[in-house]
Homo-oligomer: A and B are copies of this chain.
Amino acid sequence: MVVGSVALDTVKTPLGRGKEVLGGSATYFSISASFFNPVNLVAVVGSDFPSRHLQTLKKQGVDLGGLLVEKGKTFRWDGEYGWDFADPKTLSTCLNVFSKFNPQIPREYKKSKYLFLANIDPQIQEKVLKQVNPKLVACDTMNYWIQNKRNHLLRLLNKVDIFLLNESELRLLTHQNSIVKAAKELTRLGPEIVIVKKGEHGSLLFCDRYMFSIPAFLLESVVDPTGAGDTFAGGVIGYLAQCNKFTPLNFKRALVYGAVMATFAVEDFSVKRLLAINRRDINRRFKQFQALSCF
């Protein structure tokens, strides 16, 4: 189960433009995770949300029983990337129906064993946690919540098993310069596992007993990095749910599957590329990753 946003994104990159395309953290996560395990989606859209997008998600095996359609407009984000494809410039954010998002977990979702709390207000993430009791809880966040709802976020982290964040969020949260020290500090705040997303530089995993360092997959060209982090999380949690057993090797491979899914996501606008691949493509890229980095 994933709780997060489903949005319509307008994205400009040096290589093109996507206008009101399917986006949102829960969208990227669920399409990515759907290659490994069935996904239950909890989110809200407006009455203007194109029904073809609903069909797309359903066809991918994403259950929409938790997707509320409310009167009003769907969450819209408008952003632009420069040549470095780093942090985009946000041109506008219209929360619309998402501003009153109050997730109610359908009864049939309560048996979900794996939960991903995508980047939303930590108070809402906590409200979700009160309604369920999964085997594993993973969560994401963003600079805004670290700066403006720090205490709520810290309280939430106490109830989370896996915390995913990027380097700048890690530094902002811990005021530590050393990534290793910062991540270890975070594991003492609740999450057994801290995963640090480094974008084109790979990812790191920290827990009490071990650390992993996964290099970047080498892509010749990136078209649109939107959703890479949520797609990564979808691969990580989807693969863990598929294994349903928490060994060090499974965690390591989960990171690699996360990276593999993210490489597909950035090869085209919106979820276009993710919808065009199959499990064989994923396995092929996993093997390429092995050839690239194992010694």
Distance of A214 Cα from B201 Cα, bound (Å) = 10
Distance of A291 Cα from B253 Cα, bound (Å) = 13
A213 and B211 in contact, given A252-B295, A295-B253 (Cβ under 8 angstroms): no
For A251, give the chain B residue with the smallest CB separation: B295
Which B residues are CB-close (under 8 A) to A218?
A: 179-180, 204, 211, 213
* A216 on interface, CB distance cutoff 8 Å: yes
Which B residues are CB-close (under 8 A) to A221?
A: 178, 181
Binary interface profile of A, 8-37, with partner B (CB < 8 Å = 1, else 0)? Answer: 000000000000000000000000000000
Least CB distance, A133 to chain B, in whole angstroms: 31
In chain A between 172 and 225, which residues have their CB closer than 8 angstroms to a CB of chain B? 177-181, 198, 200-202, 204, 210-222
Which of B83, B177, B202 is within 8 Å of A84, CB to CB?
B177
Distance of A250 Cα from B44 Cα, bound (Å) = 53
Which B residues are CB-close (under 8 A) to A216?
A: 201, 213
* A94 on interface, CB distance cutoff 8 Å: no
Are the CB atoms of A292 and B212 closer together than 8 Å?
yes
In chain A between 257 and 295, which residues have their CB closer than 8 angstroms to a CB of chain B? 290-295
Which of B180, B217, B295 is within 8 Å of A256, CB to CB?
B295
Which B residues are CB-close (under 8 A) to A91?
A: none
Least CB distance, A205 to chain B, in whole angstroms: 10
Which B residues are CB-close (under 8 A) to A256?
A: 295
Distance of A245 Cα from B153 Cα, bound (Å) = 54
A202 and B215 in contact, given A252-B295, A256-B295, A295-B253 (Cβ under 8 angstroms): yes
Distance of A213 Cα from B259 Cα, bound (Å) = 13
Are the CB atoms of B220 and A180 closer together than 8 Å?
yes
Which B residues are CB-close (under 8 A) to A294?
A: 293-295
Residues of chain A at the chain B interface (Cβ within 8 Å): 83-84, 177-181, 198, 200-202, 204, 210-222, 249, 252-253, 256, 290-295
Can you list 5 A-B contacts with CB-CB less than 8 angstroms, sorted by A residue number? A180-B219, A181-B220, A202-B213, A213-B293, A294-B295
